[in-house]
């Protein structure tokens, strides 16, 4: 039996080096004992056999496996290193194992990867910095205390370094401390909770939080799933939550009693948005119009496919344009992007069947490659063509909220082509009423980098959760 002691800081690299070495030496998983941050590494396992000095074989690991396992090592499960090594060991003889979604070892590791990713996501959202005295270089200095579930400080710190590059900061956790000083990131051992000074901005932040809290939309389970209670104690705004929840019913009653008697602005806007001089047809009439228009389909385009779902509906979901499968089936969002939307919506507590789902552009635009019809991005003319139909759909659906997925939907509904990345997750007031912007599921599916894809998936889920909350 050989014992490997891994350090708390730089665990990923140490694990990777040790795993490579032992794989090349042919060390079986049973012959290795993985230890993490043992207090006295020299004494604790004295007498265990050291590995032979020279590897017998060079091992090349699939990139995807390296990426998965270097995340798994940040999990809190004491078994993680052994589980990761066992998987590598099996992978030597069967490289396709990394794609075997039914393999129990891979399922376990993917589960750990997901936990780590979610923990990193929560850390990015919930670390609260306090302003402390300026440093020697005159840069502003901040410190925050956080208690992560997994060992996510080290892999997440580069995100904070990019975001807060112009200041010095420190994130203290019981596990590891991340220090960003004059543009240099380093790590030190964890500490107990420091006594951080009061921050004047905190009161302001609390007031803002209380003001954006909508008592009519309180959904405690969705709220605690997004912002688990265990983080509350280190978030200054969270101290207001119990009072806000307790007073919600009373405030909703007061709001109803003092509601304006004029018709809502949105109703007026929808009316204005109707194609001039036209009576509002019912849905059957609109479908009949589409069927009539579909008698002549131009080259390079599919037929007009309208949305589906209840009319009226609280929520309207607007995508880009139908794809090849949607064109064949005559329904929106039934292909891979649709499946991803359905899956994420379920997780976010959003019922697709209760929403009206449609597209900004009504026809599949494609170019032929051999026998295949490949997606061709819509241009302004296509958006203009779709607008007539979309206006009618909105007028019939009268949604409380429109969810715009992707740049084309955002442009059609807000008139702005500004970068979606900066606007996603936010509600913009438009002629059609509030429009919540988010990424397009097909864009997420196409992201080649697994980490960026996972991050985009988290954002997408957050946005759908917000949509569910907004219409509840
Ligand atoms: N992508 C879209 O934007 N809409 C669909 O209906 C399918 C894929």
DSSP string, 88-111: HHHHHH-GGGGG-TT-HHHHHHHH
pTM: 0.57
User: How many Å lie between the centroid of ligand 1 and the Cα of residue 111?
Assistant: 29
Task: For residues 168 and 307, state if they share a domain.
Answer: no
Question: How is residue 454 written in tokens?
Answer: 């996972």
Does any domain span residue 56?
yes
User: How many Å lie between the centroid of ligand 1 and the Cα of residue 335?
Assistant: 8
If you write DSSP's letter for every residue of 21-46 in order, what string do you get? HHHHHT--GGGEEEEES-S-HHHHTT
E strands within 155-287? Answer: 168-172, 176-181, 184-189
Task: For residues 116 and 168, state if they share a domain.
Answer: no
pLDDT given at position 40: 56
Any ligand 1 atom below 6 A from CB of 327: no
pLDDT given at position 44: 41
Which of 258, 279, 294 terminates a domain? The answer is 258
Greatest alpha-carbon span in the chain: 91
Task: For residues 300 and 367, state if they share a domain.
Answer: yes
Does any domain span residue 364?
yes
Q: How many domains does the chain have?
A: 4
Residue 236 belongs to what domain range?
Answer: 200-258
Among candidate residues 406, 323, 392, 382, the one with its CA nearest the CA of residue 356: 392
Task: For residues 209 and 274, state if they share a domain.
Answer: no
**Nearest-angstrom CA–CA distance, 230 and 343:** 27
Does any domain span residue 247?
yes
Task: For residues 452 and 408, state if they share a domain.
Answer: yes
Which of 72, 91, 122 terminates a domain? The answer is 122
Chain CA centroid to CA 47, Å? 48
Among candidate residues 452, 451, 458, the one with its CA nearest the CA of residue 68: 451
Q: Closest ligand 1 atom to the C-alpha of 332?
A: 6
pLDDT given at position 280: 57
User: Cβ of 108: how many Cβ atoms within 10 Å?
Assistant: 17
Q: Closest ligand 1 atom to the C-alpha of 405?
A: 3
**Nearest-angstrom CA–CA distance, 441 and 398:** 24
Task: For residues 334 and 437, state if they share a domain.
Answer: yes
Any ligand 1 atom below 6 A from CB of 309: no
Does any domain span residue 194?
no
Substitution candidate for ligand 1 out of 337, 361, 363, 407 with most atoms within 8 A of CB = 337
Task: For residues 105 and 178, state if they share a domain.
Answer: no
pLDDT given at position 451: 85
Task: For residues 165 and 89, state if they share a domain.
Answer: no
Does any domain span residue 436?
yes
Does any domain span residue 132?
yes
pLDDT given at position 52: 55
Task: For residues 433 and 331, state if they share a domain.
Answer: yes
Any ligand 1 atom below 6 A from CB of 378: no
Among candidate residues 389, 381, 453, 441, the one with its CA nearest the CA of residue 411: 381
Task: For residues 283 and 410, state if they share a domain.
Answer: yes
What is each CA distance from 399 to 266, 316, 341, 361, 384, in whole angstroms?
10, 6, 19, 19, 21
Q: What is the DSSP letter of 355?
A: E
Does any domain span residue 243?
yes
Substitution candidate for ligand 1 out of 319, 327, 374, 376 with most atoms within 8 A of CB = 319
Any ligand 1 atom below 6 A from CB of 337: yes
Any ligand 1 atom below 6 A from CB of 302: no
Residue stretches of the chain with pLDDT short of 70: 39-59, 135-136, 199-209, 211-212, 217-218, 256-281
**Nearest-angstrom CA–CA distance, 384 and 380:** 6
What value does the CA radius of gyration of the chain take, rounded to a whole number of Å?
Answer: 27
Any ligand 1 atom below 6 A from CB of 358: no
**Nearest-angstrom CA–CA distance, 233 and 244:** 16
Task: For residues 332 and 300, state if they share a domain.
Answer: yes
User: Please, are residues 25 and 51 in contact by the beta-carbon 8 Å criterion?
Assistant: yes
pLDDT given at position 244: 83
Any ligand 1 atom below 6 A from CB of 335: yes
Which of 216, 235, 258 terminates a domain? The answer is 258
Helix (H, G, I), strand (E, B) or coil at 138: coil
Task: For residues 326 and 393, state if they share a domain.
Answer: yes
Substitution candidate for ligand 1 out of 317, 322, 339, 355 with most atoms within 8 A of CB = 322
**Nearest-angstrom CA–CA distance, 21 and 56:** 9
Q: What is the DSSP letter of 314?
A: S
Any ligand 1 atom below 6 A from CB of 322: yes
Any ligand 1 atom below 6 A from CB of 357: no
**Nearest-angstrom CA–CA distance, 363 and 312:** 23
User: How many Å lie between the centroid of ligand 1 and the Cα of residue 289?
Assistant: 21
Q: Closest ligand 1 atom to the C-alpha of 337?
A: 8
Q: Which CATH number characterizes residue 461's domain?
A: 3.40.470.10
Does any domain span residue 195?
no
């Amino acid at each position: 039996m050989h014992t490997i002691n891994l350090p708390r800081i730089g665990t990923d690299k140490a694990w990777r080096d040790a795993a490579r070495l032992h794989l090349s030496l042919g060390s079986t998983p049973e012959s290795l004992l993985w230890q993490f941050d043992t207090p006295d590494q020299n004494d604790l396992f004295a007498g265990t056999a050291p590995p032979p000095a020279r590897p017998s074989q060079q091992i090349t690991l699939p990139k995807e496996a390296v990426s998965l396992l270097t995340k798994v090592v940040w999990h809190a499960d004491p078994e993680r290193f052994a589980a990761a090594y066992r998987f590598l060991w099996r992978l030597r003889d069967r490289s396709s194992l990394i794609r075997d979604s039914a393999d129990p070892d891979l399922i376990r590791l993917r589960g750990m990867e997901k936990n780590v990713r979610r923990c990193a996501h929560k850390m990015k959202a919930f670390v609260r910095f306090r302003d402390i005295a300026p440093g020697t270089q005159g840069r502003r200095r901040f410190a925050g205390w956080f208690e992560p579930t997994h060992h996510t400080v080290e892999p997440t710190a580069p995100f904070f370094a990019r975001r807060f590059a112009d200041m010095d900061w420190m994130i203290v956790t019981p596990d590891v401390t991340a220090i960003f000083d004059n543009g240099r990131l380093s790590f030190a051992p964890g500490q107990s909770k420091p006594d951080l000074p009061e921050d004047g901005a905190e009161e302001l932040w609390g007031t803002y939080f209380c003001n954006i809290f909508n008592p009519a939309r309180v959904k405690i389970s969705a709220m605690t799933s997004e912002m688990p209670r265990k983080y509350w104690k280190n978030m200054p705004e969270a101290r207001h939550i119990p009072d806000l929840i307790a007073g919600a019913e009373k405030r909703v009653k007061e709001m109803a009693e003092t509601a304006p008697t004029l018709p809502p602005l949105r109703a007026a806007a929808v009316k204005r948005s109707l194609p001039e001089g036209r009576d509002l047809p019912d849905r059957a009439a609109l479908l009949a119009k589409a069927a009539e228009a579909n008698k002549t389909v131009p080259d390079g385009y599919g037929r007009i496919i309208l949305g589906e779902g209840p009319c009226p509906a609280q929520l309207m979901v607007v995508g880009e344009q139908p794809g090849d499968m949607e064109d064949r089936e005559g329904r929106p969002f039934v292909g891979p992007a649709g499946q991803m939307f359905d899956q994420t919506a379920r997780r976010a507590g959003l019922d697709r069947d209760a929403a009206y789902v449609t597209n900004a552009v009504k026809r599949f635009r494609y170019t032929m490659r051999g026998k295949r019809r490949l997606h061709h991005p819509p241009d302004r003319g296509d958006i203009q063509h779709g607008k007539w139909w979309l206006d009618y759909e909105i007028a019939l659906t009268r949604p409380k909220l429109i969810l715009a997925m992707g740049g084309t939907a955002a442009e059609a509904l807000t008139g702005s082509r500004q970068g979606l990345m900066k606007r996603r997750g936010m509600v913009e007031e438009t002629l059609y009423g509030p429009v919540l912007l988010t990424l397009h599921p097909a864009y997420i599916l196409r992201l080649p980098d697994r980490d960026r894809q996972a991050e985009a998936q988290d954002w997408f889920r957050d946005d759908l959760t917000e949509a569910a909350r907004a219409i509840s």
